[in-house]
Each structure stands twice: as C-alpha cells, then as structure tokens.
Chain A
Amino acid sequence: MAATKRKILGLIFSDMHDAVISDLTKERTMGSVLFGGRYRLIDFPLSGMVNSGIHEVGVITKSNYQSLLDHLGSGREWDLARKKGGLHLLPPFSHVASGIYRGRLEALYGVWSFIGHSDANYVVLSDCDVIANMDYSKVVEHHISTGADITSVYANDNLSVEQAQSSTVFGLNDEGRIVDVLLNPHISGSCNVSLNTFVLSKEFLKNIVLEAASRSLYRFELSILQARAGDYKIMGYCHDDYFSRITSMYDYYNSNMRLLDGAERKKLFKTNSPIYTKVRDNPPAKFEECSVKNSLIGDGSIIEGTVENCVLFRGVRVKKGAVVKDSILMQDTVIGANCDISCVITDKNVKVSDKRMLTGSKNYPLFLGKGAEI
C-alpha cells in the first residue's frame, strides 16, 4: 500500500455543556472558564492537539465569546499563529450556512466550507468539558487500525446519578465496538462515559453532516451515535489516563482541588506535553509574612494572610490577617484584611472588604459572581 500523508484537522466546540456550570458561563463560554490557577478550559484540548502534531484547529463558538477571543488572540501562545493551518475562530454567521446552531451537526454544517477547504484527511472533534492531557494521534492511530467509521473516546468512571444525567454512556462489545448509547441516563456506578472527543475521516464526516442537514437532524449523539450504532462501525477508544469531567459546580470545585495532589498534578502536567496558555506578563507571586500550605498560587499574586488548600489564580491579593481555606479565587480577586473565607469560589475581580466571613461547604461551595463587591 502506498503511504498516504496523514493530516489531521482539530475542531473544538467551545460552548457545548455551558449550561452545567451556568454561574461560570454567564459571561463566557465553557472554553474560557478559568481553571487550575492559570488556565482556561480550552487550553487543555488545544494544547493536546498541538502536542499531538495537529497544527490546524478551528474553534466553533456560539455566544458570549468575547473572553474566548481575547484569550486565544492569534493563537501564538499555542504556536498556532501559522501561515499554513493555525488557529481559526468560527463564530456564528462566519460562513454561509452558519447561524445560531442547535447542536453539533448543525454547527459542523455551518462551518463546512472551512472544513471542506482543509487538506486534512482526518478530523478530531473535542469539547471543553474534560480536563486531560490527551495524545490525539493515538486515537487517530486506533481509528485507522480498527477501520472504524467513528471513534469515540471514553473512560471508565464511577458516576453519581447527577453526573450520569449530564453524560453520554456507552455500552461496548468484546471488540470494543460501541453497541449501545445512553444519553443522560438515570443511572449510577461504574460506566464507560463519553469524553466528548471523536475521530472521523473527513470524508465520512462530510457524508453524515450533509445527510443530517437534509433531514434536519442536529444532535450528533442522538441522531448518529445512538440512532446509527447498528449501521456504522463506532469504535470506543479508552482513555486510560488522567481526566476530570465537569458536569456541575461540584465537579468544577473538585477537579480544581484535585490538582493540589502532587501525584495527580504530575499526571496532567507532563514535561513532554506542556499545557499552553495566554501570557499575562505578571511579576512572580509574592509572599509577605504569611502562611501558605497545600495551594496553587498564580503569578502576580500577593499573599499576606493565611491560605490553605486553595487554588489562587493570577493577580490575587490576600491581605493581612485574612484566612482563606478550601477555596478557589479567580484572577484579580481581593480578600480584605482579617476576612475568614472557606469553601468559596470567587469569579474574576471579586472584592471582599475587610473582616467579612464567608462560608460555603465542600459539596456546595459558595459562588461569588464576576466583579462582585462584598
């Protein structure tokens, strides 16, 4: 067989699942939700693609995308400011048929002229609700070697009923073929849960997208994965490595806190496949007379109080005498002197005046919206 050049196009859906953390996506897309002290959720699939040798990536977005555009810019920080390929932002109305889409298939139909122009022969689709450091080239390899029509990445996870209700769960046969697809099922326990990452050949994707458009079908999971599991060869690819899925604020809180465990952190942040993000030109974090334990601290932060078991983003200030525990403080949050804060999530630019006491709980962290002044 003559060697064919394998070229992969990446497509990231920045705003699928926005509703599961509606507090955080009120003014931004899922992809631009802040995570892990210095990242946005889109950094994970985007860096993964770049590290897997995918140098042409389209980012599909629907609404509230100002923060996303601001974060991605020209794509230079992901090394995607390229003459050939590179980063392409695909907002609604950017192409002939693209409007406010109702689902994945309709979104793909809307930007088909972009996809059609690419000389890639495989397409990787990813959402922004999974935090992982995935090698997509291995998924494509698996896709080719199994001769699949569609390859769907899944992982084995123990789901609560609440989590399962925001999940796609697969049933696989012995050959790893997906034979059963449950959408938002009312179940719990050990499941093969979809990581919302798919590989298809561009040709096959074209066929299903065009066919779906002619039948007014717009939901990929429902109308393709579930309805056609018998007709198409849909193979599962098991992601047997670090991942966290965000299906709720509770998940969001826990997947941030999980990074405080050094062993877990090493699984996500690998030396050979770094996670890229926007540069902000902050000075290093500064620690005055303070006590900081078991926390991630963003650059440009200034800490004068006590911080324990927290994730602090860039430019956070914790003033004298303040005690902050089990909390997530996003970019430029200011905690006044002698405050007592525990189990709180603050969005960007939250200002808490001196001597306030704010307490949430680990299973229901207290959330303060963007720019709130308390």
Chain B
Amino acid sequence: MYTKKECVAMLLAGGQGSRLYALTQDMAKPAVPYGGKYRIIDFALSNCTNSGIDTVGVLTQYQPLVLHEYVGNGQPWDLDKLYGGVHALPPYQTALGASWYEGTANAIYQNMSFIERYSPEYVIVLGGDHIYKMDYSLMVAEHKNKEADCTIAVLDVSKEEASRFGIMTCNEEGRVVDFTEKPKEPKSTLASMGIYVFTWDKLKKYLIENENANTGSKDFGKDIIPAMLADKQRMYAYAFDGYWKDVGTLDSLWEANMDLLNPNLPINLYDPGWKMYSRSPVMPPLNIGPGAEINNSMVNDGCDINGKVTFSILFDGVTIEEGATVNYSIVMPGSVIKSGAVVEFAIVGQDCVVGSDSHIGATPDASKNIEDWGIAVIGHSIEVSKNAKVAPKEIISENI
C-alpha cells in the first residue's frame, strides 16, 4: 500500500510550441535547449525538487521521444524515488477506447488514477515552457493558510502585454473575483502564470464535471477556473515578482537566453542553494584556442572556440573555427561554425554545420526597415553550405 504524498505536481509538457517553428519540428517545446546546458523543462523540474515536491507527472503528447529520453528516470533532478519520483504520462488506451489529450484539463482528467495513487491533499499544475525560479512549497503553504480551493500564481505585467494572458481581478484580501482569458480590454494587469495549486478533492470534482459537460476546450483557463469562480469557490492569487519568461516564440527564446548575459543577472543560475539541474552530457573540458576572442558569453563543456564570440550562448560540444564570428547568437549542442562564417542575431539548432564564409542573420542596424528585421533561425541537423546567406527573420528547416 502506498503512503500519502501531500502534494503531487502535474507538468503539462505536451505542447507543440508551434511558434518555435523549425526548433520544435522534432521535439516538444519543453525539450528545446536553453541557457547553454539546459532544456526548458529543467526549470520546472528543478523547482519541484528544490521545493521538496518529489512526485511529478509529466504529461507528454507532441513529439515525446526526445523529452521521454531526456527526463528518463529523473535521476539528474533527484527525482528517481523509490516511491513517487518523475513519471512520463503520454496518452494511453483503455478498455473504453483511446483518445489524445484534448486540452490541459482533459490531460489531467485522463491521469486522475496516477494522482489518486498518492492520495494527495493538493495538486500543483505547472507548464513546462517557462524560465523562472520559484519555491512552490511557499505557494502551497499560502494555499493552506487561506484555506483556498485554488491558488493561481500571478505576475504583474504591463498594460500592453495584459491582453496576451489570462487576467485576474482580485479584491483586497487577494481573492479572485474575476478572470478573463486574453481580454481585449484588460481590467487589471495581474496575469496568470499557468501555475495552479488545487485542493485535490475540489479539482477532481471540477475535472469530472468538465469532462461530462464536454465543452470542447477542456482547458484550465477556459473551463475549470471560470467554473470554479462561478461557483464562488475560494480562489486566491499568489503574487510572484521574480524573473519569469515565456519562451513560446523565437524572439522570446532568443531574449530569454540573452537575459542570462545581463550583468545584473535577472535569474541567478550560480546560486548553490537553488541549483538548476539538467542531464549532463559526457564532454571533454571547454577549450579556448590561442587566437580566440571571447566576451560576454556563456559557453558549455566540450566546446572548442577558435574564433570570435561576443554576447552569445554556446551549448556543449560546439566548435567555432578560426576566423568565424558569432555575435548575439545561440548555438545549440554539437554544431560547428566553419571558418569565415558570420552568425549574428541568430539561433542555430543542434548538430548543424554552418559552412565557411556563410552569413547567418544581421544586426538590426543593417536593415533599412526595422519591420524586416528579426532573429534568423537554423533548425536542427541542418547543413548550411559554403558562402550561403540567411537573411534576418528567415527560418531554415532544410539543408541549404
């Protein structure tokens, strides 16, 4: 017989991340590399383990291979537990048939039996596509203090951004009185971060009702939260004021990487008290060659740097040949930038070869019209031939 877990985390990692285009062609968004050695999902998983939550269901659906392999038995995050630990939960077949996860709420609904094995008091629902450090145990404590049915983590965003999020209006004691998903005319600037703590019994009731109502969306923001609000359940906002970055678009992924190079680190990866864990590849040490120039950059193990690198993030095993230049760019694991190539304001995927004297991307000043400018992107395992040019904003998903 299993003993109880006070809180189980359910991590929604099935999203395609279609706005990352070539980068999510073969892998789900949470598996996309970030920050020189991490994958986006490392942040949610590390937060769990650092918050003392040792039971995590990872709901996968879109291109799960890379993600399943990466999460594995959870050992890098200390989530290989005798009881609990991390479990990948893809959709499955039952005696009644099989269905894909139809929405975020439906994904949890289909895995109620996983949650029930641990008879938890609380369930924390997380997204697998944000960069942030957060102590979930404090949020759960707050949820208990308030005797809440649901606690929603919120971030104060600017008025302009507000219409991209689920927006909450609260009364003086922090109780949520109104919630609107992506409002055209936002009533407040408190945006939902997609992190919810529920009292499990309550959530279970609403998941079942939602399933039976068959709304079509079966989504937390669209269905569960509004339904609970309509029933006057005790719902509270939990204010978060740290660094939180959605990496859902190519621009925001690039920006979130560049944020790490800011001297006033908005997110400290070097804090020994709150380590970000990841599955480390076996690599020789990082080498900076005799003719290299390197400034304001993060570079991981196994790289061989012989060219010029500024304001860039290089993942493990990247080679920058002599005479190559990389500026304001992200180069993912195992890629080679050949001599004479220039990579600027670009994202280069995993295991690419960027041919000699090619030119990827351009500085914003080089574009006459700033509207024409954007990050240039090379997908994974792409070969860019000698002397090729890739314009700003261009996305390359086949060899050129």
Which of A's residues lie within 8 Å of B, judged by CB?
Answer: 36-38, 76, 259-260, 262, 265, 269, 274-276, 279, 281, 283-300, 302, 307, 311
Given the contacts A289-B295, A300-B270, A284 and B288 also touching, CB distance less than 8 Å: no
A-B contacts, 10 of them at CB < 8 A, read A38-B301, A276-B282, A284-B36, A284-B300, A287-B297, A291-B293, A292-B292, A293-B288, A293-B291, A297-B286
Stretch from B204-212, B271-279, B373-381 forming part of the interface with A:
B271-279
What is the minimal beta-carbon distance from B312 to any residue of chain A, in angstroms?
Answer: 10
The reply to whether the CB of B35 lies closer than 8 angstroms to some CB of chain A is yes
What is the minimal beta-carbon distance from B293 to any residue of chain A, in angstroms?
Answer: 8
Give the number of residues in B that approach A within 8 Å (Cβ atoms): 38
Given the contacts A284-B299, A300-B270, A290 and B294 also touching, CB distance less than 8 Å: yes
- The reply to whether A299 and B301 form a contact with Cβ atoms under 8 Å apart is yes
- The reply to whether B282 and A286 form a contact with Cβ atoms under 8 Å apart is no
The reply to whether the CB of B289 lies closer than 8 angstroms to some CB of chain A is yes
Bound together, the chains give a CA A292 to CA B289 distance in angstroms of 9
A299 neighbours in B (Cβ, 8 Å): 37, 286, 300-301
- The reply to whether B284 and A288 form a contact with Cβ atoms under 8 Å apart is no
Bound together, the chains give a CA A233 to CA B303 distance in angstroms of 46
Bound together, the chains give a CA A262 to CA B322 distance in angstroms of 13
Bound together, the chains give a CA A76 to CA B76 distance in angstroms of 11
What is the minimal beta-carbon distance from A368 to any residue of chain B, in angstroms?
Answer: 21
- The reply to whether A283 and B35 form a contact with Cβ atoms under 8 Å apart is yes
Given the contacts A296-B287, A297-B288, A287 and B301 also touching, CB distance less than 8 Å: no
Total A-B contacts with CB atoms under 8 angstroms apart: 99
Q: Which 10 A-B pairs have the closest CB atoms?
A: A37-B285, A284-B36, A269-B284, A283-B269, A284-B300, A294-B290, A296-B285, A274-B282, A284-B298, A279-B280
Which of B's residues lie within 8 Å of A, judged by CB?
Answer: 35-37, 75-76, 263, 269-270, 275-278, 280, 282-301, 304, 309, 313-315
B75 neighbours in A (Cβ, 8 Å): 76
Sample of 8 more A-B contacts, CB < 8 Å, known A275-B282, A281-B76: A37-B285, A38-B301, A259-B285, A262-B304, A287-B297, A296-B286, A299-B301, A311-B285
Bound together, the chains give a CA A249 to CA B284 distance in angstroms of 23
B300 neighbours in A (Cβ, 8 Å): 284-285, 299
Q: Is the interface of B mostly helix, strand, loop or mixed?
A: loop
What is the minimal beta-carbon distance from A298 to any residue of chain B, in angstroms?
Answer: 6
Given the contacts A279-B76, A283-B270, A290 and B284 also touching, CB distance less than 8 Å: no
What is the minimal beta-carbon distance from A259 to any residue of chain B, in angstroms?
Answer: 8
- The reply to whether A297 and B285 form a contact with Cβ atoms under 8 Å apart is yes
* Residue with the greatest number of chain B CB neighbours at <10 A, chosen from A37, A286, A288, A291: A286
- The reply to whether A283 and B37 form a contact with Cβ atoms under 8 Å apart is yes
What is the minimal beta-carbon distance from A126 to any residue of chain B, in angstroms?
Answer: 20
A288 neighbours in B (Cβ, 8 Å): 263, 295-296
Bound together, the chains give a CA A38 to CA B304 distance in angstroms of 15
